Each structure stands twice: as structure tokens, then as C-alpha cells.
Amino acid sequence: MGILLFTLSGVCLFFDHGDTGAGPMSRIVGRVFSPLHVVVTSAARSVRELRADYVSLTEVRAQNRALEAELQAMRNERDELDGLRSENERLRGLLELADKRKDLRLRAARVSGRSVSPYFRVMKVTLEANGDEVKPGMPVIAPGGLVGQVRSTTNATAEVLLITDPRSAIDVVLETSRARGLAVGTGEPDRYAARLEYLQRNDETVVGERVMTTGDDGRYPRGLAVGRVTTLKAQAHGLFQDAELEPMVDLSALEEVFVVLGPSGLTPDGTDIQRPEKPTPPAGAPSARGGGAVP
């Protein structure tokens, strides 16, 4: 093809030699090959544009990869900051609790596992320094209220019986109505709850009222929030009401707790020495049976 075009060019030059303008052969050849010239020129332009687009697309892809890597790094940094913020909030809550309850000697512990049994509500915690001070029966608290009591200890871990375990029973008083009762765990596998037993039928209890420890059972300190009343229903017969409470503490999301080693001898704010008070339960109130746990 190249030889043919070269030959035609030579013939054109031979026949057009001496003409001042374009000769007849040049015009004929121009008309014949003009469409081909247009196609070749257009194709060359398209190739150049395609090459430029490819180079631009390659650069855009590289920029996208760089931006995606930067975005992922920012997401990782955000997740890390969220984790640190959540941890700071939890630790701040623990510090505030320790500051409000200077009447108690507290030992920090970290939650290390939970029971998968459908019948019992038990949690394991890893004890900090001086874990030997922790003994079975000691209360376990967290910001918000009562968690349960130490059931057993092994080396640097302790098994905690939660307040929603059916073996747990706590002498309680309702914050506003001052009604007395016993909070016993329901032990349900799909939720954390407890029922209020021996709640008098004529007690003016309301849904949403906070349930607090009385301290009269000799196991749990006075004034710890146990939960909030969620349901109330008078029994068809008898002197009591059927009621349930929801724990004040989110037991499914706990990460750090305090074990109560015992009283410190100070008032809750730490400004004075605590003087013992004799419990004076109202007439007709149930005795502090159960000692904090149902046999």
C-alpha cells in the first residue's frame, strides 16, 4: 500500500511538473484520497485523545486509591478515638462512684466473661492488685447501682452472682413510696429482670420508681440503686402485688466494676466519721430473709 501511494505521488508530480497551481492529477488524487485523509486524521486524533484519556484515568485511579487509603486511615483513627472516649467515660463514671461512696472500701475489677447457662446469671471478673482481699458474699457495684455479689474466687478471678439470678434475693425499699419488699432474680435467658416479692397490696407504688437496698440484710450497703419498677399488678387474692424491676445497670455491657470490701468508717462524702444506725423497719414489713441469696 505504501509503495502504491509513493508511485501515485511520483506520477502526480511528473504530470503536474511545470504547472503553477495544482495540476489535474493532483486534483484527481486529492479528490480520491481526501476521504481517506479525513479518516486517517480523525483516527490519529482519536488515538491521541484516547491515550490522553487513558493517562488521565490512570492518574484518577491512583488518586482514588490514595484517597481511599486516607479515608480508611481516618476511619481507623475515628474508631480508635471513639474507643478511647468510651473508655474515658467508663473510667470517669468509676471515679465519680468512688468519690460519692467514700463510706465503702472499693476494689476495682474488670469483667472477663459471662455465663452462657440459660438458668443462671453469672459473670466473671478479673481482680486487680490485692485480689486476696475479695471474699465470697461481697457486693459488686458499678456506676448506676448494684450488680450482684461475689459467689466464689479462684486465683485472680471471681464469679459474681448477678441480681437477676434466681438464687439472688435482696432486701429493698422503694425510693418514694418507702414500700418494702424482696428483689429476687427471674433468671430468664433473654433478659435481665427481677421480681418484687412481699410488696404490700396497699402500697402506693408507681411504675418507674427506683428500688434501693435497705442495708438491713447485713450483706448489701444501704442506698444502692437496684433497679426501676417496670410492671405492677395487684394479685386477685391475698395481701401483695405482683411487680417486676429492671436493673439500673446495663448488665450486658459492663466492662469494669467495684467489689465492696466493706465499710470505710467515713460518711459517703468522706467529711466525717460514720456513726452506726439501728434499722427500724416499718410495722408489717417482711424480715430480711434470704441474706442476699436464695438457697
Residues 208 and 234 in one domain: yes
Residue where a domain terminates, one of 70, 85, 100: 100
Residues 113 and 167 in one domain: yes
- Residue 1 in domain: no
- Residue 9 in domain: no
Residue where a domain terminates, one of 100, 117, 144: 100
What is the chain's mean pLDDT, rounded?
80
- Residue 33 in domain: yes
Residue 114 domain boundaries: 105-274+282-292
Residues 262 and 117 in one domain: yes
Residue with cell string 471478673:
125
φ, ψ (nearest 5 deg) of residue 75: -65, -45
Residues 189 and 134 in one domain: yes
- Residue 144 in domain: yes
Of 163, 164, 153, 169, residue with least CA distance to 261: 153
- Residues 261/101, Cβ–Cβ less than 8 Å: no
- Residue 5 in domain: no
- Residues 162/155, Cβ–Cβ less than 8 Å: no
Residue with cell string 476511619:
75
- Residue 116 in domain: yes
pLDDT band at 155 (very low <50, low <70, confident <90, very high): confident
What is the rounded average pLDDT of the residues 219-245?
A: 89
What is the rounded average pLDDT of the residues 48-59?
A: 76
- Residues 250/167, Cβ–Cβ less than 8 Å: no
Residues 62 and 112 in one domain: no
In percent, the amount of the chain with pLDDT more than 90 equals: 34
Q: How far apart are CA 149 and CA 167, in angstroms?
A: 11
pLDDT for 30 equals: 60
DSSP 200: E
Residues 84 and 164 in one domain: no
Per the structure, how many domains does the chain have?
2
pLDDT for 291 equals: 47
pLDDT band at 40 (very low <50, low <70, confident <90, very high): low
Residues 32 and 128 in one domain: no
Q: How far apart are CA 262 and CA 167, in angstroms?
A: 22
- Residues 251/260, Cβ–Cβ less than 8 Å: no
pLDDT for 9 equals: 60
DSSP 285: P
Q: How far apart are CA 210 and CA 278, in angstroms?
A: 23
Q: Which CATH number do you get for residue 116?
A: 2.40.10.350
Residues 130 and 263 in one domain: yes
Q: How far apart are CA 258 and CA 102, in angstroms?
A: 13
Question: 293 or 103, which is more confident?
Answer: 103
- Residue 230 in domain: yes
Residues 232 and 126 in one domain: yes
In percent, the amount of the chain with pLDDT more than 70 equals: 76
- Residue 18 in domain: no
In terms of average pLDDT, the best of 61-70, 99-108, 139-148, 197-206 is: 139-148
Residue where a domain terminates, one of 57, 80, 100: 100
Residues 136 and 223 in one domain: yes
Burial degree of 127 (CB within 10 A; 0-12, 13-18, 19+): buried
Residues 248 and 123 in one domain: yes
What is the rounded average pLDDT of the residues 259-282?
A: 78
pLDDT for 289 equals: 43
In terms of average pLDDT, the best of 18-22, 262-266, 291-295 is: 262-266
Residues 174 and 81 in one domain: no
